[in-house]
Structure formats: structure tokens, C-alpha cells
Amino acid sequence: MSEHRRSAELFARARKVIPGGVNSPVRSFAAVGGEPLFFARGAGSRIYDVDGNEYVDCVCSWGPLILGHAHPRVVERVQRAVRDGTSFGACVEAEVRLAELLAGAVPGIEMVRLVNSGTEAVMSAIRLARAYTQRQDIIKFEGCYHGHSDGLLARAGSGVATLGLPDSPGVPADYTAHTLLAPYNDLEAVRAIVERRGDAIAAIIVEPVAGNMGVVPPREGFLDGLRRVAADSGALLIFDEIITGFRVGWGGAQELYGVTPDLTALGKIIGGGFPVGAYGGRRDIMEMVAPAGPVYQAGTLSGNPVAMAAGLETLRALGEPGTYEALDNTAASLEAGLLQAASSAGADAAISLNRVGSMLTLFFSARSPADYASAKAADTERYGRFFRGMLERGVYLPPSQFEAIFVSTAHTAEDIGVIGQAAEAALRAA
Ligand SMILES: *Cc1c(COP(=O)(O)O)cnc(C)c1O
């Protein structure tokens, strides 16, 4: 048994002054049993808790750390930025460079506004879509998470699903009344909504690869279909690429699937481990954002030079030739290793694995989930036992069945071997 005494002490203190002891509910181990660990250090693919235990990290800060922890180039660049002053609340060159890079990389982005989190990015994109279309309703998909802003907390996946909470109290029903829900991958349901109230729909928002009910890929034709329905009804199509942007490829899911949305929300990877979000899209829409236009949105620390430095250096490293092929190879060998482990442990009949590039989920479910209902049917008790067995064997998985495993460029063949061996033993015991 590895020792978790310091973590336990810190958690006891944390619970007295922080609700639930955590600053984001997904960090709690409520869904898998036990108490959250406190981490002291990360290097490459490995993280070290405050009791000195080492883990292969499969969470990577929920996706941002696609280069692994404390990548030397990012650290060096951030140190230089800090020395030059951490914030001006005024314009700096790095924000122009990051905006240019995003507009150059992501097919649907001609102009972009930088913000401080994914939540802020989506919230602002929705406001803009409503202003542009002069309509109020939005269509969102069950199990997709778009941050914790009021109107979007309806069947919002992961954190909410994990804790079994209904839509959050404190959200006025008037807000969510404008949020219409459809099952993921169900184009017919979307068509039916649009038939009923098409002229009221400002936007259809979707995770082009769902990552917040566990990884659920779009069915053939789903994203294409949304593109057509949106265009025909005068609604904007918004891709929430906060996970998939620079994850499933340089141009995100919109490049991978060849479907260009009107607006795109980004976050996570583009901040290289610092708090950054962005929303961008067609020039005629983005020109409506203040001060170019009337749609207000602002941020004291937006475009912060330290965060820009981390994001830029991360994207530069990612942009080097062969990076995504290598990531995909590592993720494919992890997929093969996990499936082999399941088979050796005699657990393969009860397990399915969904993967798109370097994001994947091992579901304790015989059939591969295609929407929220089928994802939720997974055996979360067994996932909890598996999670604890992996932790005990030095592998840190997401503390919820409804989250993605993220592979970084720092993960090595040795790491994949460690995960595979741990998985075989943990699956036998689970
Ligand atoms: C993480 C995430 C968000 C919210 O981003 P924060 O930076 O946590 O506010 C929104 N949408 C998706 C798809 C996400 O995965």
C-alpha cells in the first residue's frame, strides 16, 4: 500500500476552507471512492504526490498538457515572460502572435478574441450568436459540457453526471428554457426541434468529438448534418473545441472531419497549462464584438503575456512535423495495450474502448457508447475499483468513468507498458 498521509492531512485542512476540499468538483474522488491526492511536482509523463509517490499521468490536467509536465521549452519561455512583467492590462505582441496562429490553424477562425477560460469562451460565443441572429434559443446535446455558465448547465456531462446532480440549483428556469436538448449523434432529433421552432434558434452548439461523457465520436454524417440544418434554418453552428482543438490534429475536429462551423470555442491546450480560452469565427460575426461592434465582452487579464507565452511555445512544439503522427501512434499502442490487458484478464466482454487520436475512454460497458444514455449505462462501481487498482499500481487515471484519458508527447513506450501491466492486474481485481 502506498502511503497517502500528507495528502490526507491536506485534504482535511482543505475541506474546512474550500467547499468539498477542491476548487473544481471533477478533482474530487467522490465518483471512484477515496480522497483526492495532492501533487507536488510533474515532469514529462510522470507526476509526484506530496507523499513522494510517482504516477504515470493519464489526465494531463484534463488535456492542456499535451507536451507533458514542465516541458523545458515552455518553462524557459514562461520564465522569460515573467521576468518582463506579468500583466499590463494593455496590448502585448504575444497576443497578436497567438491570435494569428489560431486564425492560421483553425479553418473556421478568421478573427478571434482571447479570454481566460473555456467557460468564458463558450458563454461569449453564445451571446454573440444570439446578437448576430437576433434569436434566443440554442440547441445543445445531452452529455456535452460547455463550461458552467447558467444557460448551459443542462445535461452537462462529466462533473455533473459524475456526481449524479440534476441541473444545478441557482440556475433560473428562464435561462435553461432557451436551451433545447437533443441526444448526441441524433440528427433526427435536431431536425424535429428545428421543425418546431427553427426561427427561434440562434445556435447549435456541439463538442465535435464528445469528451465529457467519456470519449464519444461523432457518427458518420452527424457533423455534416448539423452544418446543413444550421445553414438551412439560419442558426449558427458552434463547435466547442476546447478539448479537441490542437488535440485531434492541428486544425482540430473541424479539420479532421472537414466540417467548418461559424464559431469555434478553444481553451485547454492553447494556454499550455495556463488559464486561456478563445472564441473565434467568421469575420462578419466577430466584427460584432466590442469595441469593433456592440456585443460586450471584456477581461482584465485576457491576453496575459505569461499565458500567451506558454500557449505559443506549446503550439510551436506541436506544430513540428510528425508530432501528431507520433501522438497517434502512442495512443494506438495504449489502446492495444488496454484491450490486450482486458483480454488477458478475461474482462474483454464487459469492456469497450472509444478513441479519437490521443483521447480515449475505456468504458465498463459491453457496447461502445454513442450518446449520453449509453455512456451512463457503464458500470461506474467497477470503474471505481479499476481506478483505485491503477492508482495503487502507479497510474493516475481520470477519477470518473465519464472523462477522457489524454496521451501526451511525453508518454513513452515504457509508460504504455507500465499502464498495460497495471491494467491487467487491476482488471483482474476489479
Ligand atoms: C473543459 C471544457 C470546458 C470548460 O473550460 P474551463 O476552462 O474549465 O472553463 C468547456 N467545454 C469543453 C468541451 C470542455 O472540455
Question: Does 18 score more than 50 pLDDT?
Answer: yes
- For residue 124 the three cell numbers come to 461569449
Residue 141: helix, strand or coil by DSSP? strand
Average pLDDT, the chain: 95
Question: Does 164 score more than 60 pLDDT?
Answer: no
**Are β-strands 236-240 and 111-115 bridged in parallel, bridged antiparallel, or unpaired?**
unpaired
Q: Are residues 159 and 170 in the same domain?
A: yes
242 within ligand 1 shell (Cβ under 6 A): yes
Q: Are residues 307 and 340 in the same domain?
A: no
What confidence tier does 198 reach under pLDDT thresholds 50, 70, 90? confident
Question: Does 51 score more than 70 pLDDT?
Answer: yes
267 within ligand 1 shell (Cβ under 6 A): yes
Q: Are residues 97 and 240 in the same domain?
A: yes
| Beta carbons of 58 and 42 less than 8 angstroms apart | no
Q: Which of 212, 213, 215, 361 to mutate to test the pocket of ligand 1 (most atoms within 8 A of CB)?
A: 212
Sheet holding 405-406, edge to edge: 352-356, 359-363, 405-406
Query: Whose Cα sits closest to atom 5 in ligand 1?
Result: 118
**DSSP labels, 277-288:** EEEEE-HHHHTT
The angle subtended at Cα 132 by Cα 129 and Cα 137, nearest 5°, is 50
Distance of CA 223 to the CA centre of its chain: 18
Gyration radius of the chain's alpha carbons:
21
Q: What was the pLDDT predicted at 172?
A: 80
Tell me how far apart the alpha carbons of residues 118 and 266 are, in angstroms, rounded to a whole number: 7
Tell me how far apart the alpha carbons of residues 378 and 80 are, in angstroms, rounded to a whole number: 47
Question: Does 16 score more than 80 pLDDT?
Answer: yes
Q: Which of 318, 346, 372 is the last residue of a domain?
A: 318
Instruction: List C-alpha distances in Å: 232 to 37, 195, 397.
Output: 50, 11, 42
**What ranges in 301-394 are assigned the alpha helix state H?**
305-318, 323-344, 372-376, 380-392
Q: Are residues 31 and 97 in the same domain?
A: no
Q: What was the pLDDT predicted at 162?
A: 44
- Name the active-site residue from 268, 324, 371, 376: 268
Give per-residue pLDDT as tens, 345-377: 999 999 999 999 999 999 999 999 999 999 999
Question: Does 211 score more than 80 pLDDT?
Answer: yes
Range of the domain at 399: 5-70+321-429
What confidence tier does 168 reach under pLDDT thresholds 50, 70, 90? confident
Nearest of 420, 290, 269 to residue 358 by alpha carbon: 269
Q: Which of 61, 65, 119 to mutate to test the pocket of ligand 1 (most atoms within 8 A of CB)?
A: 119
Q: Which of 145, 152, 216, 254 to mutate to test the pocket of ligand 1 (most atoms within 8 A of CB)?
A: 145
Q: Are residues 254 and 387 in the same domain?
A: no
Give per-residue pLDDT as tens, 324-342: 999 999 999 999 999 999 9
Percent of the chain with pLDDT over 70: 97
Q: Which of 281, 299, 318 is the last residue of a domain?
A: 318
Q: Are residues 252 and 137 in the same domain?
A: yes
User: How far, in Å, is the centroid of ligand 1 from the Cα of 428?
Assistant: 34
Question: Does 163 score more than 80 pLDDT?
Answer: no
What confidence tier does 176 reach under pLDDT thresholds 50, 70, 90? confident
Domain of 385, CATH number, reads 3.90.1150.10
Q: Are residues 55 and 166 in the same domain?
A: no
Question: Does 77 score more than 80 pLDDT?
Answer: yes
Q: Are residues 63 and 95 in the same domain?
A: no
Domain of 229, CATH number, reads 3.40.640.10
Q: Are residues 231 and 115 in the same domain?
A: yes
- Residue 268 designated active-site: yes
Query: Whose Cα sits closest to atom 11 in ligand 1?
Result: 146
240 within ligand 1 shell (Cβ under 6 A): yes
Give per-residue pLDDT as tens, 228-237: 999 999 999 9
**DSSP labels, 254-297:** HHHHT---SEEEE-GGGGTTSS-EEEEE-HHHHTTBTTTSSB--
Q: Which of 318, 338, 356 is the last residue of a domain?
A: 318
Question: Does 320 score more than 80 pLDDT?
Answer: yes
- Max CA distance (Å), the chain: 61
Give per-residue pLDDT as tens, 121-130: 999 999 999 9
Q: In the beta sheet, which residues pair with residue 265?
A: 240, 279
Nearest of 54, 106, 62 to residue 273 by alpha carbon: 62
Distance of CA 297 to the CA centre of its chain: 23
Query: Whose Cα sits closest to atom 8 in ligand 1?
Result: 118
- For residue 6 the three cell numbers come to 500528507
Nearest of 146, 145, 147, 161 to residue 30 by alpha carbon: 161
Q: Are residues 328 and 310 in the same domain?
A: no
Section 31-42 average pLDDT: 97
What's the domain count of the chain?
2
Instruction: List C-alpha distances in Å: 354 to 95, 96, 359, 364.
Output: 36, 37, 8, 11
Q: Are residues 58 and 148 in the same domain?
A: no
Q: Are residues 35 and 84 in the same domain?
A: no
